[in-house]
Structure 1
Amino acid sequence: MWRRLVSGGHLRLPLPGRSIPHRSAAAAAAAHPTVASAVNSILLRSLKEHYLEVSKMTPPPKVNPPSPFTIVKGALDADGPVLRRTYNDEEISLYVMRLANLVPGGGREDDGEDDINQLFLHVSIAKPGQEEALHFLCGLYPDALGIHSVSMRPKLETTGFLVVPKKYNGPIFEDLDEKVRDVLHSYIEERGVNESLFPFLQAWLYVKDHRGLMRWFKSVGTFINKDKSAKDD
């Protein structure tokens, strides 16, 4: 069920038929407060129905991250790292989102399930006493991991998914010598960054999408309800 409802990084739900055409409803609401109240009631009812529908969805089976990565506390409610581990004196942090979210027009219905099988992985490798960290931007798939770029960037603290570099960002990865590319792949694979991360990160994004959508229905409904209550007073 989750695969059918998730596309392009967002949960998809069937939209109810609109009882009042958009333009005529807006014009009528402006002229008649009672119509505006009716529109609010219809919207609140629709939001509640969808909220209840989403709340009953069965989540995907629980998947644990590959050892020794551990889940960052509070990651589901933030935009920071999802997984962390140490490797010798290094701290490795992983950030993830769907590749479809970065492509204009991504997530269209004719894209099939390819959208949810393409993840954008941001790997930050930091060492103590150094202001910058080594960053890998990768495409993660069920059976492969590909590096898009490698750069030195300021260490990520608690906020922000990406930090825009203020200086030279390194060569285009594909322009590097093949031996260099192979060694860089080996470098992150030695630190446990490979396609084995995909099952956990995909399931984690599903859960994050679900929580975000539940929160969205609730917050919009609360806003509309307060507006409705103020007009009724």
Structure 2
Amino acid sequence: MWKRGLVGAVGALRRAGTSRPRYYATMSSAVDSMILRSLKDHYMEVSKMNMPPRVSPPSPFSIVKGALDSNGPVLKRSYGEEEVIVYVMRLSSADDDDGAVGQLFIHVDVSKPTQNESLIFLCGLYEDALGIHSVSMRPKLTEHSGYIIIPSQYTGPVFAELDERTRDAFHSYIEERGVNESLFKFLQAWLYVKEHRNLMRWFKTMGLFIDGKKPAAGA
């Protein structure tokens, strides 16, 4: 549709016999108008989407302040002297046809105040199960401001190649800290809200840029 509209605009301008500079200026204005109109339509459409019911994280986890506006952790809790924090992302290949997220990829960071490294679990989270993909030691994150740090040293054997007793022990270790399928409903809803918010922001900031306006502070 955009292409047909653009071709029509170009044809009309050529028939009008405009000079070259004026032709490009008018063409640019027509393209800007088409993009702005489309961005506004999409923004309004997305703004009408229904949000999932509000879901609270399972106790004793709490939501990390500012999580919706960052790429940092989503949940945190204390377990004795340990701090347990949870990051989440969607696996697009695991999405259902209706757009629901059927599998989540989570990164769990278990740290102790006396240790310089954290124990990191990379897991697949489902509505009825949790599967560990890998376990490793990584440098402790500073203020939990970003995703997992890529290590420069050996991170251990492939988790699936460990003996069953060791794998079961690691599952028990992480489940004792509250990381299990009970987190799925909250993280699924939270990720939907975050992606909706990001999409709204994208349409808005894109439109403001093309229109030559500065976004409001905090937008």
The answer to whether TM tops 0.5 is yes
**Cα shift readout 1:17-71 (whole Å, capped 9, x = no counterpart):** 4263678989989962201101101110111111111112121000000000000
Aligned to 2:102: 117
In the alignment, does 2:130 pair up with 1:177?
Answer: no
Tell me how far apart the structure 2 counterparts of residues 115 and 172 of structure 1 sit (CA, whole Å).
30
Aligned to 2:196: 210
Letter in 1 for 2:2: R
Tell me how far apart the structure 2 counterparts of residues 107 and 220 of structure 1 sit (CA, whole Å).
29
Aligned to 1:42: 34
Aligned to 2:123: 138
Count of aligned pairs: 204
Tell me how far apart the structure 1 counterparts of residues 90 and 168 of structure 2 sit (CA, whole Å).
25
Superposition misfits of 4+ residues, deviation over 4 angstroms = 21-31
Q: 1:73 is matched with which residue: 65, 70, 76?
A: 65
List runs of 5+ in structure 2 lacking aligned partners. 14-19, 214-219
In the alignment, does 2:20 pair up with 1:20?
Answer: no
Which structure's relative contact order is higher, taking Cα pairs within 8 Å and 6+ residues apart?
1
Letter in 2 for 1:38: A
Q: Which moved more, 1:71-80 or 1:152-161?
A: 152-161
Task: Tell me, yes or no, if the aligned pair for 2:2 and 2:34 is still in contact at 8 Å.
Answer: no
**Cα shift readout 1:181-201 (whole Å, capped 9, x = no counterpart):** 000000000110000000000
Tell me how far apart the structure 2 counterparts of residues 223 and 38 of structure 1 sit (CA, whole Å).
16
**Cα shift readout 1:56-111 (whole Å, capped 9, x = no counterpart):** 212100000000000000000001100000000000000000122xxxxx489xx6
List runs of 5+ in structure 1 lacking aligned partners. 1-16, 101-105, 228-233
Task: Tell me, yes or no, if the aligned pair for 1:145 and 1:194 is still in contact at 8 Å.
Answer: yes
Alignment RMSD, CA only?
2.5
Taking every aligned residue pair, what percent have the same amino acid on both sides? Answer: 60
Q: 2:43 is matched with which residue: 45, 48, 51?
A: 51
In the alignment, does 2:78 pair up with 1:93?
Answer: no
Normalising by the residue count of structure 2, what TM-score does the alignment of the two structures yield? 0.85
Tell me how far apart the structure 1 counterparts of residues 71 and 27 of structure 2 sit (CA, whole Å).
40
Letter in 1 for 2:145: T
Aligned to 2:52: 60
Distance 1:36 1:63, change over 3 A: same
Cα deviation for residue 115 of structure 1 reads 6.9
Tell me how far apart the structure 2 counterparts of residues 123 and 46 of structure 1 sit (CA, whole Å).
40
Tell me how far apart the structure 1 counterparts of residues 104 and 49 of structure 2 sit (CA, whole Å).
23
Aligned to 1:150: 135
Normalising by the residue count of structure 1, what TM-score does the alignment of the two structures yield? 0.80
- What is the DSSP-based 3-state SS (H/G/I as helix, E as strand, rest coil) of the residue aligned with 2:156? coil
Cα deviation for residue 156 of structure 1 reads 1.7
Aligned to 1:10: none
